[in-house]
Amino acid sequence: MDKTKDTKLKYRFFWTWDHSMVWTPLVDGIQEYGCSNPYYKKPEVFIQDYKNCIDFCAANNYTGVIIYGFLRDCHGGTGAAQEICKYGRGKNVRVIPGIGVNSYGGVYWEGKHEFNLSTWLDRHPELEAVGQPYPGHPYLRIGCPSKKENRKWMKDSIRWLCETFEIGGINFETGDYGLCKCEECLSKSKRTGFWSPEDIVELLPPLIKEARDARPGILPICECYFNNILDTELHKPLQALPEGSILQFCIDHVYLPQFLSKMTPEKAAKLPTHPKVIRTHMGSQWNNERRRLVAKDFAKLVKKVAEAGMDGVTLFGEVPQTSTVNEINYLSVADFCDDPKMTWEEFTAKKLSPLFGGEGLAKKYIELLEKDKISTADLESAKKALREAKGQSYRRWLWMVEYLYTKSGQ
Ligand SMILES: [Zn+2]
């Protein structure tokens, strides 16, 4: 009998910013840091980055890739995004644009397009939010969620998005950097803080319906924001979202201990009944973790998600698997999602051993990644492994030797 049958997690997503993708080596315009940045690479690199990433997802059972900055004039607009979607579809990997509702540029992140939020608000300044933190910012302007014209425009945008692109889902956000404080909005709630569960519940259902009408089978993913999943009262209103909408809760390393100790099946049962995924900032650029080993924490996270009866994990996927530490992180999520009852030792023996030339060498590799201080003996042991490595193991040990030289300053 397959012991994984009842526990396998259904969803595993990569979350990405277009500008932070580095899946194509040796090109100009690479950025390793920031969010909501301009895009500096050539349009063809945008396409190649995502094709390379989709190849990895297809080979490792990732469900889909979430793309923020999906549409920009400067990286090929509609045609480039269509090509990526088609490629993803061919590989059975869902391409999922990340879009802002009245925020984060709308559906068309950057450009003179009718479904770009800044373009829309330039034409209709009366529809802007009141008291927004970044007035006039090309990417971060906010539309008032109470205005019916904005709601219609968002619906039209979603219809166009679903009809124009072979997308596999939409990652919806209502914005987490400020709320409209016009009289009408304030009459509905206090509107303190940076985001509003009431906005999510009020704005998303018609958009999800529009998306499903236009593209049946689409996955709606609803961002529920940051380090708050244990506050089950806060999320109660989200029960009103359409059935089958995926609720996505974000956590980072600071919140992980609480999540691991306090999340239980009973606690999870107090959350809305929709499918739930944890989006983690662990292993991302934030807090200097973009190229850090977090695979063991990923394993703990995935096990807890499964134990609590939740449905999947979303992680940052901007760095290619040729950065071996990221490869290990990605494989950890994929394999523990497949078999959450597996132990770390089993993962090392089954998955990592063939990648590094045997179980002893796989353990050695992890040990080296976990070291704060690198000795000459460490470096020599990696160089010995490199000399004896074969096939793709050679590339992985080459990465390690380079890493150890850099880290030790030798
Ligand atoms: Zn308003």
Can you list the domains of the chain with their CATH numbers?
A: 11-342 (3.20.20.80), 343-410 (no CATH)
Closest CA to 174 of 148, 156, 142, 200: 200
Cα(191) to ligand 1 centroid in Å equals: 10
Distance from Cα 161 to the centre of ligand 1, integer Å: 25
Residue 232 CA to ligand 1 centre (angstroms): 27
Kindly report the length of the chain: 410
Determine contact, residues 45/78, Cβ cutoff 8 Å.
no
The C-alpha atoms of residue 392 and residue 397 are separated, in whole angstroms, by 9
pTM of the complete model: 0.96
DSSP H or E stretch at residue 170: strand 169-173
Ligand 1 centroid from CA 103, angstroms:
13
CB atoms within 10 A of CB 330: 26
**What pLDDT does residue 189 have?**
80
pLDDT tens digits, one per residue of 339-371: 999 999 999 999 999 999 999 999 999 999 999
Side chain identity at 107, as an amino acid letter?
Answer: V
φ and ψ at 116, to 5 degrees? -95, 130
Task: Report the separation in Å between the CA atom of 186 and the middle of ligand 1, taken as the mean of its atom positions.
Answer: 7
- Rounded Cα gap, residues 304 and 302, in angstroms: 5
Our measurement of the distance from residue 117's CA atom to the centroid of its chain's CA atoms, rounded to an integer in Å, reads 22
Is the pLDDT confidence value at 1 over 70? no
User: Which residue spans within 239-319 are E strands per DSSP?
Assistant: 246-251, 276-280, 312-316
**Tens digit of pLDDT for each residue in 299-347?**
999 999 999 999 999 999 999 999 999 999 999 999 999 999 999 999 9
Cα 149 to averaged position of ligand 1 atoms, centre (Å): 12
Which CA distances in Å does 103 have to 201, 267, 315? 16, 31, 22
Query: How much distance in Å is there from the Cα of 187 to the middle of ligand 1?
Result: 10
Q: How far is the CA of 198 from the centre of ligand 1 (A)?
A: 13
Q: How far is the CA of 185 from the centre of ligand 1 (A)?
A: 4
> What's the CA-to-centroid distance between 135 and ligand 1, angstroms?
14
Identify any residues that bridge with 278 across adjacent strands, giving them in sequence order: 249, 313
Q: What is the distance of C-alpha 178 from the center of its chain? A: 21
C-alpha 189/C-alpha 201 separation (Å) is: 13
Report pLDDT digits (tens) over 20-33: 999 999 999 999 99
Closest Cα partner for 267 from 238, 314, 305? 305
> Given pLDDT bands bounded at 50, 70 and 90, which one contains residue 7?
confident
R_g of the chain, CA atoms, integer Å:
22
Question: What is the rounded distance in angstroms from the CA atom of residue 304 to the CA atom of residue 259?
Answer: 8
